[in-house]
């Protein structure tokens, strides 16, 4: 039964049987316009229930089990039930555990314990929380009294148990003394051989762990340098041929097998198994078929493991149902196509190259193939490098060298050359046999043109012709004569047909088949369907069905950052001392700014001024004292020459494009590397994410302007009337991070705890005006003095008059006109003493919360992450536009745990949990970030590309006009 309609039948509670939950396929239950006061709990246990219609009844409440199906229900109608009270959540759902949260217990007690809280602090915190919430609750008081009685009973039981333990210990000691006396009396008696057998006096704990023999399951060791080494569970069932065919190594294994039996005190026998002749009992120990791997995994002690050589191969990836097809191509840059994904096998390095037009799902499957090759063929030692076309990476030079480009530079643009209707060549399978005095090579019939693993017989040898690859598969029980003949036939077969130059013959032994060979067969090594928001390591560890895996075990989670105290701010004296020390080591600093397509010297007057639309380069030379050698004396210090180090700081504004960084890497960086060599260090920084040592060089006078420099605007032909400018001075967490940032001139932005600089220009040429330094009532005196110094250095005193204005003493004429008139603004900045920003991410392979430093900015809000912001009165859950559903769900529970913990530690500052989205932030959220503005978009990069195209097109048109004019002149002559 799928649908059950019981409308308008005057049913009451007895009219619906409790066994209705046995209707496993019930999808719709409608009982509207009846007299139901309650519904049986079994109705909420129907697994496939989608619609529950109970309107116009007399419902008082619902079963608690209703909470288990609210998310799965498509329709839940409970209208016109005036006395209905929604039931409380069950205890498990209140804690936030269950499969929907990956079996993570988000209760405060559990998370405090995971964060390393002391037991005493934990109990005190929970007691305080319980006392604060239920001190006047009679039910809670009863619970406390019951707990007190239970604790008293527990104490009495512990005392009785201790007395019993003492009595047992005394009884054991008496029995031991009695046994010692009996043994001494029977020493003269002759013992049987098995009674005299004792464990050898050897310390086996050096070879085997103490818990060996106590845990159910299979444990496997391999012999490495004459000693047993336990291998991980994932490697069980895979045996290296080099570890089994060495006779001496078998002897060493037998020795340690006897040692293990002695260590466990077992009375069982030791069995010896050989490759290819294993017993059925041995094979049943493993869930899957055992695998033989060519070579040796470790050095046994008698022989060492030689490194295998792998030829350079390149494959183009094509999707085929649930798996992929690996088409062998020539290892040259011309083989690349922007619509495809390529796998380059360079032995210990596996490159996965993705074209700009290729599908990401195909790249993920190619990465899974590389993971399998590394694990099953390279002993998990191969490095996998993902390269995406037109994206920066330090591995590009080595990639191009692997494809035959000697200088390691990227060649010209990759062109599309693969036909759209490309169809791989169907492979042909031949069986090698011996006839009457000659060799036979009959073709194996393949049904429906699909190769399957069952076609290969372990007693035979086969040749698989894939046009670009010819594989010789040797069965484990094939004869030696047929093997030798197969190699000869494969070479002749390779030369018979016209094949590309990269075609090659590969020898494959049964049990050691490479992934390229397995992918020729259907169902041998299919690429599983995965959630592409997860990493390949996560898929390999948990499997494709994440829900089934989450039901079985508890997921690792790290929320310890939420329970750590806020970092204490640095005082002014310590900050000034750090600034002085770092500037003492600075010998010189040369500044450059990007103008057009090259970097030029920055004018001395603009040092310390940064524009959000520009890119800057600072070459800093630091003095490094030379350290004395062990054989040198302290008196020789004066004769030593001091060393130096050069650090290049690249600063990129929020509105600047990445073209500045590319221009720097191909121009100035090359010159600096040639001059300073290994003494050069390059540090890339973005606006408001500067290194603290770099900011110390400007001695708290770090000024950030909006848009671009005036000289560049004039060159671009952009002119505008002078407008008022408003700058906000603020320190984030430390006086070291003091910035003066230009913001929108609006009276709403003022705050009584900060200092502001307002420039009001007169006329059209900015040749006159007035500058106000506005000091809030609660502003810091040091920041007020700093604001006056910055204003004096920013503007020419001959053109602009300086006036210091305190809050409440503003002139009516120019000040309020410059910032758009009087408006209400905040009088306090208490959020500065409580603000914290946390990042929620699963990039480590598990969900973790980490705290950003106190000097955070708007650009720290990553688009693919979820953030938690605490301002002392509200806790904001910020959701990026590309954040995954898993991160959002777990971040919500983390924020709830954080708020619950703060209610205990800071009851005087209750927090509200609010949710906000990118681009929809409120003023309360924005004020926690210094210099909040519009989000950076890719429009600047698109504009640069468009201008470049217009520039090239212009010169092409001019060139064509000149050619046409020249031809016309020749015609006239």
Q: Is the pLDDT of residue 425 over 90?
A: no
Do residues 126 and 109 make contact, with C-beta atoms less than 8 angstroms apart?
yes
Q: Is the pLDDT of residue 777 over 70?
A: yes
How many Cβ atoms are within 10 Å of 957's Cβ, its own excluded? 10
Strands 836-841 and 586-595: unpaired
Q: Is the pLDDT of residue 258 over 80?
A: no
Using 50, 70 and 90 to split pLDDT, how confident is the model at 135?
very low
Q: Is the pLDDT of residue 228 over 90?
A: no
Q: What is the mean pLDDT of residues 367-382?
A: 87
Taken in order 532, 537, 543, 547, the sign of the CA dihedral is negative
Q: What is the mean pLDDT of residues 698-716?
A: 84
Using 50, 70 and 90 to split pLDDT, how confident is the model at 771?
very high
Q: Across the chain, what does the average pLDDT equal? A: 79
Q: Is the pLDDT of residue 334 over 60?
A: yes
Using 50, 70 and 90 to split pLDDT, how confident is the model at 384?
very high
Provide long-range contacts, Cβ within 8 A and 24+ apart, for 918-926.
Answer: 918/861, 918/863, 918/878, 918/879, 918/880, 918/881, 919/881, 921/878, 924/871, 924/874, 925/869, 925/871, 925/876, 925/878
Strands 557-558 and 504-509: unpaired
Give Rg (Cα) of the chain.
39
Q: What is the pLDDT of residue 767?
A: 78
Residue 952 or 854, more confident: 854
- What is residue 860's DSSP assignment? G
Q: What is the pLDDT of residue 498?
A: 81
Q: Is the pLDDT of residue 165 over 90?
A: no
Q: What is the pLDDT of residue 525?
A: 76
- Please name which of 578, 902, 869 lies closest in space to residue 737, comparing C-alpha atoms: 578
Q: What is the mean pLDDT of residues 163-168?
A: 76
DSSP string computed for 333-358 = GGG--TTSEEEEE-SSEEEEEE-TTS
Least confident of 264-273, 423-432, 548-557, 726-735: 264-273
Q: Is the pLDDT of residue 863 over 90?
A: no
Q: Is the pLDDT of residue 758 over 90?
A: yes
Q: What is the pLDDT of residue 672?
A: 92
Helices 119-134 & 885-905 angle (0-180, nearest 10): 80
The pTM of this model reads: 0.48
Reported as a single tens digit per residue, the pLDDT across 951-973 is: 344 444 444 544 444 444 334 33
Least confident of 118-132, 269-283, 855-869: 118-132
Q: Is the pLDDT of residue 63 over 90?
A: no
Query: Distance (Å, rounded) from C-alpha 958 to C-alpha 955?
Result: 5
Q: What is the pLDDT of residue 249?
A: 36
DSSP string computed for 533-552 = TS-HHHHHHH-S-HHHHHHH
Reported as a single tens digit per residue, the pLDDT across 433-448 is: 877 667 788 889 888 7
- 656 in the Ramachandran plot: left (φ > 0), alpha (ψ -120 to 50) or beta? beta
pLDDT cut 70: percent of the chain above it: 74
Which of 290-304, 736-750, 834-848 is modeled with the greatest confidence?
Answer: 736-750
Using 50, 70 and 90 to split pLDDT, how confident is the model at 494?
confident
Q: Is the pLDDT of residue 316 over 90?
A: yes
Query: Distance (Å, rounded) from C-alpha 413 to C-alpha 390?
Result: 10
Residue corresponding to tokens 């848009």: 707
Q: What is the pLDDT of residue 967?
A: 43
- Using CA atoms, how far residue 114 sits from 106, 318, 554, 848, in Å, is 11, 46, 13, 12
């Amino acid at each position: 039964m799928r649908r059950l309609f019981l409308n308008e039948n005057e049913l009451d509670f007895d009219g619906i049987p409790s066994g209705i939950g046995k209707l496993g396929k019930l999808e719709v239950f409608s009982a509207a316009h009846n007299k139901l006061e309650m519904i049986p709990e079994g109705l909420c246990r129907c697994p496939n229930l989608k619609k529950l219609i109970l309107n116009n009844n007399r419902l008082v409440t619902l079963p608690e089990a209703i909470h288990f199906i609210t998310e799965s229900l498509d329709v839940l109608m409970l209208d016109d039930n005036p006395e209905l009270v929604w039931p409380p959540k069950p205890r498990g759902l209140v804690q936030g555990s269950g499969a929907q949260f990956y079996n993570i217990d988000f209760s405060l007690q559990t998370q405090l314990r995971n964060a390393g809280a002391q037991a005493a602090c934990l109990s005190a915190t929970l007691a305080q929380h319980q006392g604060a919430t239920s001190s006047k609750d009679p039910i809670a008081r009863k619970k406390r009294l019951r707990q007190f009685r239970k604790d008293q009973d527990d104490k009495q039981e512990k005392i009785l148990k201790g007395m019993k333990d003492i009595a047992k210990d005394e009884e054991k000691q008496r029995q031991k003394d009695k046994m010692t006396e009996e043994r001494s009396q029977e020493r003269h008696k002759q013992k049987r051989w098995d009674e005299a057998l004792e464990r050898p006096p050897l310390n086996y704990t050096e070879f085997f762990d103490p818990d060996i023999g106590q845990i159910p399951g299979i444990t496997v060791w391999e012999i490495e340098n004459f000693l047993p080494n336990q291998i991980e569970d994932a490697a069980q069932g895979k045996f290296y041929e080099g570890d089994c065919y060495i006779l001496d190594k078998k002897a060493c294994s037998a020795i340690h097998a006897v040692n293990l039996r002695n260590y466990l005190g077992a009375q069982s026998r030791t069995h010896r198994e050989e490759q290819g002749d294993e017993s059925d009992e041995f094979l049943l120990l493993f869930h899957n078929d055992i695998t033989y791997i060519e070579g040796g995994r470790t050095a046994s002690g008698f022989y060492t493991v030689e490194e295998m050589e792998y030829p350079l191969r390149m494959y183009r990836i094509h999707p085929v149902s649930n798996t992929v097809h690996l088409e062998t191509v020539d290892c040259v840059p011309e083989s690349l196509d922007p619509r495809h994904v390529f796998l380059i096998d360079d032995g210990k390095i596996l490159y996965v190259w993705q074209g700009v037009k290729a599908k990401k799902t195909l790249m993920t499957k190619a990465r899974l193939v590389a993971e399998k090759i590394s694990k099953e063929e390279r002993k998990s030692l191969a490095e996998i490098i993902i390269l995406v076309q037109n994206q920066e990476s330090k591995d590009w030079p080595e990639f191009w060298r692997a494809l035959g480009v000697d200088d390691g530079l990227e060649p010209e643009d990759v062109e599309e050359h693969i036909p759209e209707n490309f169809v791989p060549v169907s492979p042909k399978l031949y069986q090698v046999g011996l006839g009457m005095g000659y060799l036979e090579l009959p073709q194996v019939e393949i049904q429906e043109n699909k190769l399957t693993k069952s076609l290969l017989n372990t007693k035979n040898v086969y040749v698989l012709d894939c046009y670009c690859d010819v594989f010789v598969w040797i069965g484990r029980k094939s004869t030696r004569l047929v093997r030798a003949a197969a190699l000869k036939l494969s070479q002749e077969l390779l030369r018979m047909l016209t094949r590309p130059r990269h075609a090659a013959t590969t020898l494959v032994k049964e049990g050691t088949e490479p992934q390229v060979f397995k992918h020729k067969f259907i169902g041998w090594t299919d690429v599983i369907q995965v959630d592409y928001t997860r990493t390949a390591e996560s898929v390999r560890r948990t499997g494709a069905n994440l829900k089934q895996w989450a039901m079985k075990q508890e997921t690792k989670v790290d929320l310890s950052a939420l329970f750590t105290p806020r970092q204490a701010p640095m005082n002014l004296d310590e900050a000034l001392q750090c600034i002085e020390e770092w500037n003492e080591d600075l010998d010189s600093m040369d500044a450059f700014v990007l103008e057009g397509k090259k970097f030029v010297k920055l004018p001395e007057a603009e040092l310390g001024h940064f524009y959000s639309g520009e890119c800057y380069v600072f070459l800093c030379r630091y003095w490094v004292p030379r350290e004395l050698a062990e054989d040198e004396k302290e008196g020789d210090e004066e004769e030593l020459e001091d060393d130096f180090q050069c650090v290049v700081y690249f600063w990129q504004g929020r509105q600047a494009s990445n073209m500045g960084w590319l221009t720097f890497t191909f121009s100035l960086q090359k010159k600096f590397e040639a001059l300073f060599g290994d003494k050069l260090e390059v540090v890339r920084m973005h606006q408001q994410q500067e290194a603290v040592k770099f900011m110390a060089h400007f001695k708290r006078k770090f000024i950030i302007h909006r848009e671009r420099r005036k000289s560049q605007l004039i060159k671009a032909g952009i002119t505008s009337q002078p407008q008022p400018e408003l700058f906000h001075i603020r320190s984030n967490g430390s006086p070291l991070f003091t910035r003066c940032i230009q913001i929108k001139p609006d009276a709403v932005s003022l705050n009584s705890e900060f200092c502001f600089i307002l420039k009001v220009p007169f006329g059209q040429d900015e040749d006159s005006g007035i500058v106000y330094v506005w000091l809030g009532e609660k502003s810091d005196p040091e920041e007020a003095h700093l604001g006056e110094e910055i204003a004096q250095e920013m503007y020419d005193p001959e053109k602009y008059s300086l006036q210091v204005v305190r809050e409440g003493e503003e002139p009516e004429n120019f000040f309020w006109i410059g910032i758009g008139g009087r408006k209400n603004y905040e009088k306090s900045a208490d959020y500065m003493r409580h603000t914290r920003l946390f990042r929620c991410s699963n990039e480590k392979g598990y969900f973790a919360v980490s705290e950003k430093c106190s000097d955070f900015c708007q650009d720290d809000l990553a688009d693919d992450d979820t953030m938690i912001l605490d301002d002392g009165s509200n806790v904001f859950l910020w959701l990026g536009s590309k954040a995954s559903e898993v991160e959002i769900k777990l971040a919500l529970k983390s924020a709830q745990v954080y708020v619950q913990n703060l209610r205990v530690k800071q009851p005087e500052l209750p927090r509200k949990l609010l949710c906000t989205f990118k681009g929809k932030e409120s003023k309360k959220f924005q004020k926690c970030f210094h210099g909040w503005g519009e989000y950076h978009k890719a429009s600047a990069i698109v504009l640069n590309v468009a201008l470049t195209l217009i520039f090239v097109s212009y010169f092409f048109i001019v060139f064509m006009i000149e050619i046409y004019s020249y031809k016309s002149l020749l015609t006239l002559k």
